[in-house]
Structure 1
Amino acid sequence: MFDLIDFKAVLIIALIFIPLEQLLPLHGEQSATRRHWLNDVFYLLFNGIVVKAGIVSVVGAAMLLAQRFVPEALTAAVQSQPVWLQAIEALLIADIGFYLAHRAFHAVPFLWRFHAIHHSIEEMDWLAAHRVHPVDQILTKSASFVPLFALGFSAEAVLIYVLTYHWQSVFIHSNTRIRFGPLKWLIASPQFHHWHHANEREAYDKNFAGQLPFLDLIGGTLFMPPRMPEKYGVDEPVPQLYHQQLVYPLVAAAEPAAPIAEASAGKPE
């Protein structure tokens, strides 16, 4: 689970999603080698090294606190449950953590500068899922992982969550027209997440959940009309090269701040 670069997994994902996007494209005119695709390959191959090290550090520090403040009776109760039930609970708890962290990245101007990298994507596809600043990934994923480890969920339950999240994250960014019908309120789909990336005012700051859209329904942030977005991206001048995007949040922080309503335009993960 913590291999630095899992080339086998990368190959499997590519072999599944590249043909799928050709067979069932949402935007048929979009090429598999769309603009800046190579930039996102750098994220796919190299982000994991920093992100996994960061998550291990954050989770490790949190576990030291959890040992002092989380009752042993609670962790014992969690561990006594069957793996299938733990997995369901882990998916829910982790996505609540993701929802809250994701919402914070849209609400706090300094955090938004990191998250704007992900929202700078103007053509959605499976590769777009990987364009995430390492700081963004470390904090949002830690918000999901920390409660799972603190509460004592089994390694099997955590692994089920990790695999589910990873595959669904790639899927919901993909350039596919697959919809889930009545299950769209329960399971995140491209329809749900593409609206999160839409650069259309009515869609700003909507659809924060990673996997469970009903969390947005509860939080009052759900937006999922029948049509699909016409425009993606942000209006601010985010650079399009990997090394420039890594330093952009700090460079932007050093410059005079634009009004947040303008700077975060197109705040549509």
Structure 2
Amino acid sequence: MEKYIDIIKNSYSGYWNYLKQELLFQNHWDNYFYGLIVISLLVWGLEILFPWRKNQAIIRKDFWLDTFYMFFNFFLLNLIVLIALSNTIAEIFDDILKIFNLSVTSFQLFDVDNLPKWLGLTVFFLVSDFVQWNTHRLLHRVPLLWNFHKVHHSVKQMGFAAHLRYHWMEPVVYKSILYIPLAIIGNYNAQDVAVVYFFTIAIGHLNHANLNWDYGILKYIFNNPKMHIWHHAKTLPKHVRYGANYGLTLSVWDYLFKTNYMPYNGRDIELGFEGDEAFPQDFINQELYPLNKKS
């Protein structure tokens, strides 16, 4: 038990020191904090210059709420919960494996570090994205998980910052499911993964942006604003009642597994979910949902 307490303490102190370095710009090109700011400003600029919904305000409904979510979820949530939790669970998992004289490397198919860097990063990205696509489907199919995912679907006007409006429990689910698949292929260091991180953040921001883009033939590979808006549609036909277009970065999984749905131009469709009129509108009550659910 003392070992786990030390892990939690070290996780907090280590991440706090890392976060200070990010804020003071003591890291190099892979600075996640300022990288997020730069990507957000660039995509917001595109929204202002080339708006799809021209009557949507630049400072749209819930713009500041989503902006707060952006920084809270990507930085403060890690400090409060995720780093300590993930490090502790990883250690507990390793300790359980040791009982059977095993380790995570016992299941490792190969190590991406032994591949050419471009190939290793590609494998890392594809495995991560596919696992997250499946996890996203679970968030829509499992009632308990859907209650958490409602926070993201409470967005009523799409814009880049809506990308990172999500319940604190979501990354716990994603990271837990992603842990073993990534352990099987080995791990890249943080600086290398930054390339994948910045790419996925940019695509995610664009998916939620007020932009009339589908990338032409590349729409069959990459998720895009015209496709992703249907994922947020409030009303869907019965055959896709659990949702569609689950792709985070890649749309190819949806086309391969027949979960794609784009019946027509969705520029002006209503967003949300059934009963969202009674859903909490503020950050605190959204984060406490469904614990504060009235029925």
Which moves more between the two structures, 51-60 or 151-160?
51-60
1:241 partnered with 2:257: no
Q: Do the aligned partners of residues 154 and 123 (structure 1) sit closer, same or farther apart at CA in structure 2, a change above 3 Å counting?
A: same
Structure-to-structure mapping, 1:120-135, within 5 angstroms: 120-135=154-169
Change (3 A) 1:199 1:225: same
After TM superposition, the structure 1 stretch with the greater mean CA deviation from structure 2, 220-229 or 87-96, is 220-229
- Which residue, out of 262, 270, 280, partners 1:231? 270
Question: Does 1:98 find its partner at 2:132?
Answer: yes
Q: Deviations 1:3-52 (Å, cap 9, x if unpaired)?
A: 38765234313421222101111111111211222211221222232246
1: CA distance between counterparts of 2:169 and 2:224?
25
Number of aligned residue pairs: 253
Letter of the structure 1 residue corresponding to residue 63 of structure 2? W
If you compute each CA radius of gyration, which structure gives the higher value, 1 or 2?
A: 2
Please tell me the residue identity of whatever aligns with 2:257.
G
Residues 107-116 or 191-200, more deviating: 191-200
Query: Aligned match of 2:77 in 27, 50, 53?
Result: 50
CA contact (8 A) 1:54 1:138 kept: yes
Query: Which residue among 222, 232, 238 is the counterpart of 1:197?
Result: 232
1:32-51 equivalence runs, <5 A: 32-47=58-73, 48-51=75-78
Preserved contact between residue 51 and residue 138 of structure 1 (Cα < 8 Å): no
Residues in 1 aligned to 2:110 and 2:256: alpha-carbon distance in whole angstroms: 27
Conservation of the 8 A alpha-carbon contact between 1:96 and 1:144:
no
Tell whether the 8 Å contact from 1:206 to 1:223 is kept in structure 2 after alignment.
Answer: yes
Residue aligning to 1:168: 203
Give the partner amino acid of 1:177.
Answer: N
Task: Give the 3-state SS of the residue equivalent to 1:175 in structure 2.
Answer: coil
1:27 is matched with 53
Structure 1, unaligned runs of 5 or more: 257-269
Indicate yes or no: 2:148 matched with 1:114.
yes
Shift of 1:137: 2.6
Give, in angstroms, the shift of residue 196 of structure 1: 0.6
Q: CA deviation at 1:193?
A: 1.2
Question: Please, what TM-score do these two structures have when normalized by structure 2?
Answer: 0.76
The change in CA–CA distance for 1:209 and 1:56 in structure 2 (over 3 A counts) is farther
CA offset digits 1:134-169 (Å, max 9, x no partner): 111332245346522442132255332222222211
How far apart are 1:97 and its partner, in Å? 1.1
Determine if contact 1:129/1:173 at 8 Å carries over to the other structure. yes
Query: Deviations 1:88-118 (Å, cap 9, x if unpaired)?
Result: 1111100111011111111111111110010
Where 2:131 maps in the other structure, the secondary structure is: helix
Identical pairs, percent: 27
Q: Report runs of 4+ in structure 1 exceeding 4 Å deviation.
A: 4-7
RMSD between aligned alpha carbons? 2.6
Tell me how far 1:192 sits from its aligned partner. 1.9
Provide the C-alpha distance between the structure 2 equivalents of 1:140 and 1:72, rounded to a whole number of angstroms: 20
